[in-house]
Amino acid sequence: MKKLLRYIKGYEKETIIAPLFKMLEACFELLVPLVVANIIDVGIKNHDTVYIWQQGGLMVLLAVVGLASSLTAQYFAAKSALGFGTALRRDLFRHIDTLSYTELDGIGTPTLVTRMTSDVNQVQNGVNMTLRLLLRSPFIIIGALILAFGISPRLTLLFLVVTVVISLVIYGIMHTTMPIYRDAQNSLDKVTLLTCENYVGARVVRAFARQADELDTFTRTNDHLKHIQVRAGRISALLNPMTYLIVNLGIVALLWQGGMEVSVGNLTQGEVIALINYMTQILTNLLRMADLVVSVSRALASGVRVNEILNTATSMPDPAAKTLEPVEGAPAVAFEDVHFAYKGAGGESLTGIRFSAAPGETVGVIGGTGSGKSTLINLVSRFYDATGGKVLLFGHPAGAYSFAQLRRLVGVVPQQAMLFTGTIRDNLRWANPDATDEELWQALEIAQAAEFVRGKPGGLDEKVDTAGRNFSGGQRQRLTIARALAAKPKILILDDSASALDFATDAALRKAIKEQTVGMTVFIVSQRAASVQRADQILVLDDGALVGKGRHAALLESCPVYKEICLSQLSREEVEKTL
């Protein structure tokens, strides 16, 4: 938590002033019952109208001063909390930008989004509430106890007993209902799951005519949920009556004992009324505190989660090196006995990989799911560091390049064709912010996307909706290819990025890349034998090992795994035809 507290920096003044003024306001509120006691004991008793006016005026004054200090407190609390939240959010965002793929995989991007948004908001609200309210209620409770002690030390014991018993009741009820509410939440999750299943799987449910059974399951789940909720309701409905009962029992005892004290002259009538007032104030504030404790503990939990992210250090800091010149005659990519294991994984995902690709060469990478294809190309773009061996790009270790140079050197088209809100131009300029329109059109031509972009009324300025939803899967894929091409990388990686394209477009794309990007080393990762068969070099992966390396025809002869893959997709005659 200490780590989070430093975001108060720059707002220390506000952070101290806010609760101070809040306490001031509480002081004024605590004085009111004493003033009322004076009105009764002095003003009414002595029929002193001037005194009554004076004390009445004092009450108004207290109210005005109370309002002023309260407003001051709210203002500073808002400034401090929002300042805190903004700084925290800013730092968290920057911190996330330093995390490497290893950390991102471990935490998961959806989690990061929640941490950035709702968790930070919770913490911000928590700070705001703590400053405004959390100190106020305990202060009033303690103040009320002290003032009650000042009025009648003998009756203070009664106050202490009532305070303790109410606290215990509140704690007991919250403690009992908490697990029930957790049950209810689980049950509610099941309701959500069933709804989702039946919506997404509507075709299957109907194909098997299971609608009635599904409804039955849903009904039973809901009955169960209702049962839990009613049970929780029964217990939590105890809170108000129980505390009410205790406070009023306290008041009855107060009246009785107070009566005795008044009878012997230790106490006045007005003071009895003041004591009753303090008793009610204690109850109100204990209940308010219980509410607050729940919200603040929620904020604390969020704080812990945000802190987890901030405490996650990147395993791959930016080397921030000078621009490196390619080594004369070195291959574009060279793997020297490369091993790789994902963090926390039992075995290696890549073992002893060795190959080199000359500038301008097309490299096909093929293999089944989990064979290590994506891992291999992730090492080329240095999303991960090899755990053994060397990955060299143009003669330098991948780790020697600054991120800025590395990202311009290697262009990636990921499996998931993801676009961002904005225009087509914004999206194409992701890798190269300075690309001219001419360069963008060139990239679109190669990616087989120029035709449909030209067909859009806005052309390059055509709006792209969230996640590119207003484009078809195939269009999105071609735009992501153009995005990578627009930066004119020396190495281009196509990670199964033609899966949504029909065979004809796929073939045209490969042809265009081959002809129009002279000198570019292209990696084509695919499960389709047809997509890689014309590569200058095909890498065949099986269970993390490189089991074949060479051209299509040679591999068909020498590599059983490659042959198996080809035959599982094409008939024998067709395979022969490709030779």
Partner 1 sequence: MSKKKQTKSGATIRRVLGLIRPYRGQVVLTLFLAALTVFTTLLAPVLTGKAVDFIIGPGQVDFAGLLKLAIAILVTIFVTAASQWLMGVVNSRITFQVVRDIRVQAFAHLEILPLSYIDAHRPGDTISRLTTDVEQFSDGLLMGFTQLFTGVLTILGTLAVMLTIDWTIALVVVALTPLSIFVARFIAEHTYSMFRVQSETRAELTSLVEELVGNEHLVRAFGYESRAEARFDTINEELHRCGVRATFFSSLTNPCTRFVNALVYAAVGILGAFSAIGGAITVGGLSVFLNYANQYTKPFNDISGVMTELQNALACAQRVFDLIDETPILPDAPDAAALPHGAGSVEFSHVKFRYVPEVPLIEDMNLTARPGQRIALVGPTGCGKTTLVNLLMRFYEINGGTLTVDGHPIDAVTRDSLRANFGMVLQETWLKAGTVAENIAYGKPDATREEIIAAAKKARAHSFITRLPQGYDTPITEDGGNISQGQRQLLCIARVMLRRPPILILDEATSSIDTRTEVLVQDAFEELMKGRTSFIVAHRLSTIKNADQILVMKAGNIIEQGTHEELLTRNGFYANLYRSQFAPA
| 8 A C-beta contact, residue 466 and residue 493 | no
568 sits near partner 1 (criterion: CB under 8 A): yes
By CB under 8 A, name the one of 30, 34, 39, 535 that touches partner 1. Answer: 39
The closest of 408, 381, 401 to 322, measured between CA atoms, is 401
* CB of 433 vs partner 1, minimal distance in Å: 7
Closer Cβ to partner 1, 276 or 330, answer by number: 276
C-beta of 98 vs 297, nearer to partner 1 = 98
Residue 19 near partner 1 by CB under 8 A: no
Cβ 313 to partner 1, closest distance in Å?
16
Please provide the distance, in angstroms rounded to a whole number, between the alpha carbons at the two ends of the chain. Answer: 66
Q: What minimum distance in Å lies between the beta carbon of 249 and partner 1? A: 7
| Selected range binding partner 1 among 285-293, 334-342, 350-358, 570-578, rule: CB under 8 A | 570-578
CA atoms of 352 and 350, how far apart (whole Å):
7
Using CA atoms, how far residue 195 sits from 184, 207, 219, 223, 549, in Å, is 17, 17, 11, 15, 49
Applying the rule CB under 8 A, the residues between 72 and 131 that interact with partner 1 are: 74-75, 77-79, 81-83, 85-86, 89-90, 93-94, 96-97, 99-101, 104, 109-110, 112-113, 116-117, 121, 128
User: Taking CB under 8 A as the rule, does residue 287 contact partner 1?
Assistant: no
Give which of 319, 305, 324, 375 is closest to 347, Cα–Cα: 375
Burial class (CB in 10 A: 0-12, 13-18, 19+), 207: exposed
Nearer to partner 1, 161 or 330 (CB): 161
Q: Cβ atoms within 10 A of the Cβ of 429, count?
A: 20
| Region 226-245 residues binding partner 1, contact defined as CB under 8 A | 226, 229-230, 232-234, 236-238, 240-242, 244-245
User: From the CB of 156, what's the least distance to partner 1, in Å?
Assistant: 19
For partner 1, the binding residues in 439-458 under the rule CB under 8 A are: none
Rounded to an integer, what distance in angstroms lies between the CA atom of residue 294 and that of residue 481? 50
**Which distant-in-sequence residues (6+ apart) come within 8 Å of 328 by Cβ?**
none
* Count of residues in contact with partner 1, rule CB under 8 A: 165
Binding to partner 1, residues 481-510 (CB under 8 A): 483, 496, 499-504, 507, 510
Residues 6+ apart with CB under 8 A from 23: 135, 136, 139
Which x/- pattern over 350-369 shows residues binding partner 1 (rule: CB under 8 A)? ------------------xx
Q: Measured from the CB atom, is 389 or 422 closer to partner 1?
A: 422
Q: Are 132 and 74 in contact (CB under 8 A)?
A: yes
Report residue 67 as tokens: 């309002």
Structure tokens at 92: 């968290």
Residue among 150, 511, 553, 554 that touches partner 1 (CB under 8 A) = 511
174 lies in the binding site for partner 1 (CB under 8 A) = no
Binding mask 288-327 for partner 1 (x = CB under 8 A): ----------------------------------------
The C-alpha atoms of residue 125 and residue 450 are separated, in whole angstroms, by 49
Using CB under 8 A as the binding rule, whether residue 52 contacts partner 1 is answered as: yes
Structure tokens at 566: 């080809």
**Which residue, among 471, 490, 377, has the nearest Cα to 424 in the 3D structure?**
471
Question: Among residues 308 and 574, whose Cβ is nearest to partner 1?
Answer: 574
36 vs 293 by CB, closer to partner 1? 36
433 touching partner 1, by CB under 8 A: yes
Q: Give φ, ψ of 546 to 5 degrees.
A: -85, 105
